[in-house]
Amino acid sequence: MPLEATLLCIDNSEYTRNGDVSPTRFEAQLDSANLICGAKTQQHPENSVGIMTMAGERVEVRVTPTVDLGKMLSGLSQISIAGTSDFLRGIQTAQLALKHRPNKNQKQRIVCFIGSPVEATEKQLETIGKNLKKNNVALDLISFGDTQPNSAKLSKLIATVDSNNNSHLVEVPSDRILSDYLLSSPIIEMSGGEDGVPMDTEGGGVPGGAATGGGGANEFGVDPNADPELYMALRISLEEERSRQQKGQEDAPAGQQQQQQEQQPAQEGGTATATAQEGQTQAQTAAAPAAPADTSADRAMTRAEIEAMEGVDDELRQALLLSLQEDAAPPAADVPMEQAKQEEQPAAPAAATAAGASASAAAAGGGGEGQTAAAAAAASAGAGGAAGAGGDAMFQDPAFVERMLGSLPGVDVNDPRIREALQQLHGGQGEGPSGAEGGDKKDGDKKDDSDKKQ
Amino acid sequence: MDGLGGGDEDAERRQLLHDALKHNKDYQIAEGLTVNLFDGFVDWKNFHCLGQSADHPFPHMDPRARTTHRGQTYVESDTDAEMLIFIPFNQKVTLQSLGFTVLSSHLSFGPRTVYLFPNRWSLDFDDALTTDPAQTLTFTREDLADGTALSLSAAKFSCVDCVWVFVASNQGGEEVTRMSKMGLLGRPLKDGSHQKLGGIRGMMRA
């Protein structure tokens, strides 16, 4: 993000004819240079990039720092391979070219490709490194091809130049595509780095970089001195987001309560469907005319609704869908505990979303009508309807329900109230109302449990 | 005696008034007295310092993005004693004096020889060593302890829109230079606002 003037030093020595990097070191290099030019000009409209070559007859500045991408690219295309590269002189020339940049507000950066052995001594490199650091010039080195012989010298140079982590050495293994590798390197990512915004504003751990620091980034990755407006905007938006989250947390407990209450109709519905399966249609229509519509509407809604829910984050949504799929699997009499628990989950949000719809469905038609409408809805939802029936049938298995209750923390299966509820649940299959009541009761207990958990 | 007493009284009143108001920026400007130019006349967005350390840099002074450096008591140079501080002003000013304050425990780290280069938009360490400065100041330990500002040549600093302060050495020949406060006293020039000349000046610079 910082306003920068960059000078790209291209290594066009004879070494770069080598084909160990595909297609050749030179071609790969030009491709990456292309990429860097694009990336730099994208980061800030006033970023300028210049191009120079380090080999050939002499070190030569091909393109003085410019904001015109076309100039850079045509400059790159005119480079030809010749001679050996002079790293030291290249860096010095680059520094000089940067010094005379027209816009003095730009930070200075040299990006240098090295595809041939560096002949300068460590002493010389240290001197030039210190000079760069003092004049606040950042240096990125891209070592490719045969990186081994240069490695020690270059990492030492970077250690000298680096202040505030503004300089990088990237060594690209020969089996990797150069430009692909650079794409994920800090050289290109410098600007994109703001994605990982640490949420700690008050920490002040990062001393916000120097007034001039090339990498003078603070907690937002923005140098407040370089761009105070952006910094302020980020800070304000962060604070707003925080207060919004705080508000959300305050509201959340109330919302959960509501959800639990809405869980009840779903349970009722479940009971009713199961009875229908067992062929006791009469009892069902007589006792709970609203119930079937309730269930299937609920089940049919779930799938569509889950996908449409906006306030829910992706993970939760996926979890809900997944649990629906598991529902669809034919329920064995002996369902593993974990699955059973997951099964409980979808009931809550499903009920929440279905509450409105089920009410209207119930109002629209009596028992028979409601059921046909429900059937259509269930069909549209694919396996959803069947899944619902299957899952609910599971709750009819007394052994299963007991085990499940036993596995919940803070629930005593021998508690007389639970016993009574269970008995009512299983005994009341024939008579709708009492069954519904049983569901109620059980739910009440469950609510208590979850309250305890909280 | 009476007459003299009356004159004294008048002078005394004026003196009192002056004492009371002398720290008031408006009064100072109206009276043509000096002000601390860091107080509202520096273009902080373009202010920068070469050779400062990353751990003890100049704090961000832009009021819109002020980030406090908790516990920071001094600014330090990085690898050697040299520091090059660029101070652009947001309007033309007259510089009158420059002073530094250094913590008493850091006196030997305090700046000693300081070169000033007014009205240059670009300078680096090589230039600073090879160019003749407009003025050279030499600070003593006493100056640094009291924060005494040394006065600048009226002729060379009468109309300045930016200045480079090159700290070349420190008192005790230490590895690094440290300073805690910097005072740049002067006077804003009337009608010298850059805002009015922005367009033309921008063109000339480019």
Residues of chain B with C-beta less than 8 angstroms from the C-beta of A210: 48-49, 52, 54, 57-58
- Tell me the nearest-neighbour CA distance from B63 into chain A, angstroms: 9
Mean pLDDT of A15-29: 92
> Of A194-203, A213-222, A276-285, B127-136, which gets the smallest average pLDDT?
A194-203
Count CB-CB contacts under 10 A for residue B80.
16
State whether the Cα torsion A15-A18-A23-A25 is positive or negative. Answer: negative
- Which of A67, A92, A100, A163 is the mutation pick for testing B, counting most B CBs within 10 A? A163
Among candidate residues A90, A94, A78, A136, the one with its CA nearest the CA of residue A115: A90
- Tell me the nearest-neighbour CA distance from A12 into chain B, angstroms: 30
pLDDT category of residue A248 using cuts at 50, 70 and 90: confident
Which residue is closest to A104 within chain B, CA to CA?
A: B122
- Tell me which DSSP letter residue B86 carries: E
The predicted complex's ipTM stands at 0.71
User: What average pLDDT does the structure give for chain A?
Assistant: 70
pTM of the model: 0.55
Q: Is A40 a residue whose pLDDT tops 60? A: yes
What are the tokens at A326?
């598991």
Segment-wise mean pLDDT, segments of 10 residues, chain B, 206 residues: 62 83 67 76 84 80 54 83 91 88 90 93 88 93 88 87 93 90 83 53 49
- Tell me the nearest-neighbour CA distance from A130 into chain B, angstroms: 8
Share of chain A above pLDDT 70, in %: 55
Interface of A to B at Cβ within 8 Å reads 99-100, 102-105, 130-131, 133-136, 163-164, 204, 207-213, 218, 224-226, 228-229, 231-232
Q: Is A303 a residue whose pLDDT tops 50? A: yes
Give the pLDDT confidence score for residue A197 in this predicted structure: 34
DSSP state letters, A374-425: HHHHHHHTTTHHHHHHHHHHHTT-HHHHHHHHHHSTT--TT-HHHHHHHHHH
- Cβ B47–A211 below 8 Å, yes or no? yes
Q: State the DSSP H helix or E strand holding residue B185, giving kind and residue range, or none if neither.
A: strand B181-193
Give the pLDDT confidence score for residue A260 in this predicted structure: 52
- Which of B38, B53, B62, B205 is the mutation pick for testing A, counting most A CBs within 10 A? B62
Helices A290-308 and A228-277: crossing angle in degrees, nearest 10, is: 150
Tokens 């509407």 belong to A297
Which residue is closest to A3 within chain B, CA to CA?
A: B46
What are the tokens at A8?
């790209």
Residues of chain A with C-beta less than 8 angstroms from the C-beta of B62: 224-225, 228
Do residues A20 and A36 lie in contact, with contact meaning Cβ atoms separated by under 8 Å?
no
Assess if CATH 3.40.50.410 describes domain A4-184. Answer: yes
Give the pLDDT confidence score for residue A310 in this predicted structure: 63
- Cβ B54–A210 below 8 Å, yes or no? yes
- Cβ A225–B52 below 8 Å, yes or no? no
Q: Which of B44, B51, B68 sits opposite A134 (nearest CB)?
A: B51
Residues of chain B with C-beta less than 8 angstroms from the C-beta of A131: 125
- Rounded to whole angstroms, the Cα distance separating A137 from A179 reads 24
Q: Is A94 a residue whose pLDDT tops 90? A: yes
- Cβ A209–B54 below 8 Å, yes or no? yes
Mean pLDDT of A139-149: 93
- Cβ A224–B62 below 8 Å, yes or no? yes
Give the pLDDT confidence score for residue A314 in this predicted structure: 75
- Rounded to whole angstroms, the Cα distance separating A284 from A290 reads 10
Q: Could you tell me which residues are beta bridge partners of residue B116?
A: B135, B165
Q: Which of B47, B57, B122 sits opposite A213 (nearest CB)?
A: B57
- Which of A225, A227, A231, A234 is the mutation pick for testing B, counting most B CBs within 10 A? A225
Count CB-CB contacts under 10 A for residue A357.
17
Q: Which of A134, A212, A228 sits opposite B65 (nearest CB)?
A: A228
- Cβ A99–B68 below 8 Å, yes or no? no
Q: Is A216 a residue whose pLDDT tops 50? A: no
CA angle A353, A384, A365 (to 5 degrees): 60
Give the pLDDT confidence score for residue A30 in this predicted structure: 94
Q: Any alpha helices (H) in A78-139, and if so which ranges?
A: 87-99, 122-134
Backbone angles phi, psi at B2, to 5 degrees: -60, -50
